[in-house]
Each structure stands twice: as structure tokens, then as C-alpha cells.
Amino acid sequence: MAQLVGTFVSSHAPMMAASVESAPPEQRRNFLGGVQQAARRVREQGAEAVVICSNEHFTNFFLENFPQFCVGVGASHWGPVEPWLKIDHGEIPGAPELAGQLAGQLPAEGFEPSFSHELRLDHGIMTIYHSIDPSHRLPLVPFIQNCAVKPMPSLRRCYQLGQAIRRVVEGFTGAERVAVVGAGGLSHWIGVPRVGDIDVEFDHWFLERLERGQLDDVLDLPDAELELAGNGAHEIRSWLTIAGLAAPSTAKVLAYEPIAPWITGMGVVAYDLEPSAAGAGGAAAAAKGA
């Protein structure tokens, strides 16, 4: 049975790899310091594979068939797709047994993700994967989520997905230690007139609730209200997936900086998991609304 290690979530603005120097030095130092601290925990705790939950940016899917969730089950993946991202481009090893366990066992947990043997990876996953393993040798399962195209899965559904992912990964016998990580958000606007704005008040409100483990207000947010923190704020679905996975453990904020040149509220949280919480306390929390 696999143990979950190194659980964390981070924002993933492409500029953190494409033009890192564009951020004010202190903000850059604080945010990237948080990312490095979280990534180091994954390495030091001996993860043999990593599952990264992040959102689709029309990199793999278009509107003729846009999955709410998709597991990358391939033996390898290719990325990053953005030629301007300052990360080595090439093949990333997959973890097909673990991915197959997720695709095969999540239906019994009430989730039916699509699956793909040929996923391409963009900044959403690659910035965080590269932070965890700059050598690109750690086997990766990309777990793509729809955080952009309406209708999207509800926030509560994403939280429950995290609980289900935990049960499946903890039942996996092909590795002893697996990291499950989230990437996306926080507040930002993209491709719209308000591009460049950051809603610091929303970011603090959200992070405080993650720290307290009091998520009712968040999980009940209608999409129209969430979008008042930017159309990119829908990416908190990945944060809530990891919050569900980690429950009843609560988040520790490692860093938060509203980095204007990166047009995003850039945060990092980490979790110290209590054993097998999702199977007992986590499920109970979801049943009563987290």
C-alpha cells in the first residue's frame, strides 16, 4: 500500500519559468522559496512517483470533446509545449501502473475520468514538476481538470475527487511512497479586459479557510461569484482537490505574494497528512459539507 508524501499545492504562472526576473526580487524570493521548500519535501520523503492535478488550457482538448477530468496513462508525456518556457523540452516518464489504477479504480469511487495515452504538458504541470525534479526522471501522472470551460465540475465535486484519489493511491501496491500535488490559481484574469489584476482580498480569504479547514463558504461558491476573483480563479479546483485529499489535515501556507508582473496571486501551501484520514474523517467531512 502506498503512503502519500510531500502533499502541496502551488500557483503556476508561466512567468515563474519564462521570465522569473520580471518579479520584484523580494516577492520572487519569497514565492520561489516556498515552492522550493515544498518540492524539497517531496524529494526528501522519497516519492517514487508524483500525480499532479492541474487545469487544461486548450493544450490537449478542444470543444468537440472536453473532459472534466483526464488521467494521463501513457508511458511518457511530452512537454513543455510552450517553446518560450525556460524548461528543458522533451519526454517525461509516465507512471502507467499508478495512472491505470486511478483510471480503473476511480469509477468505483463515483468518478469516471477520461484517460489519454498521449498527453502534452504545458506550464500548468511543467513548472511544478520541474521544481520537484529538475532532472525530469521522476515518473509523473498528469491529472487534468477542467477549470476554464463551462460547465465545469463543481468545487465540492473537486474536493470529493481528492478524497477518492487518496483512497485509490493508498490502495496502490506498485510503490511505497507517492506524492499528489496541485497546481493552479490563485486569483487572476486571463484573456479579458482585467488581465493583470489580482484580488488579494480573495486570496487571503481562501488561504485562511484552507489553514482552518473550514471550507463550507468556499465549496458553496457559485461559478459566477468565484469569477469575481478572475476567470483564472476557477483553478482553485486543483487546490480544493488537494484539500479534500488531505482532510482532515489542514494547510500550512508557505508563501503568498501577489506578483503583478506575473498577473497572479502566487501561493504555496503544504500539508502534513494524518494516516488514512480520507477514508474516515475526510469522507465524513464531505458528507456534512466539509
Applying CB under 8 A, the residues found at the interface with another protein are: 57-58, 62-64, 148-149, 190-196, 201-202, 205-206, 217, 221, 224-225, 228-229, 231, 263
The minimum distance between CB 109 and another protein, in angstroms, equals 29
The minimum distance between CB 289 and another protein, in angstroms, equals 16
The minimum distance between CB 39 and another protein, in angstroms, equals 27
How far, in Å, CA of 168 to CA of 163, rounded? Answer: 9
Buried b (16+ CB within 10 A) or exposed e, 196-231: ebbbeebbbebbebbeeeebeebbebeeeebbebbb
Of residues 10 and 187, the one with the C-beta less far from another protein = 187
Q: How many helices (H) and strands (E) does the chain have?
A: 10, 11
The minimum distance between CB 2 and another protein, in angstroms, equals 34
Of residues 75 and 195, the one with the C-beta less far from another protein = 195
Tell me the backbone φ, ψ of residue 26, rounded to 5 degrees: -65, -40
Of residues 112 and 201, the one with the C-beta less far from another protein = 201
The minimum distance between CB 193 and another protein, in angstroms, equals 4
Please give the sequence-ordered ranges of beta strands (E in DSSP) within the chain, or none if there are none.
Answer: 3-4, 8-10, 49-55, 69-72, 76-79, 90-93, 114-116, 140-145, 177-183, 252-259, 264-270
How far, in Å, CA of 88 to CA of 258, rounded? Answer: 27
How many C-beta neighbours within 10 Å does residue 133 have? 18
How far, in Å, CA of 130 to CA of 10, rounded? Answer: 13
The minimum distance between CB 265 and another protein, in angstroms, equals 12
Of residues 3 and 66, the one with the C-beta less far from another protein = 66
Compute CA 17 distance to the chain's CA centroid, rounded to the nearest angstrom: 17
The minimum distance between CB 23 and another protein, in angstroms, equals 15
Compute CA 130 distance to the chain's CA centroid, rounded to the nearest angstrom: 14
How many C-beta neighbours within 10 Å does residue 111 have? 19
Of residues 15 and 47, the one with the C-beta less far from another protein = 15
129 closest CA partner among 35, 46, 210: 35
Of residues 150 and 288, the one with the C-beta less far from another protein = 150
Of residues 61 and 111, the one with the C-beta less far from another protein = 61
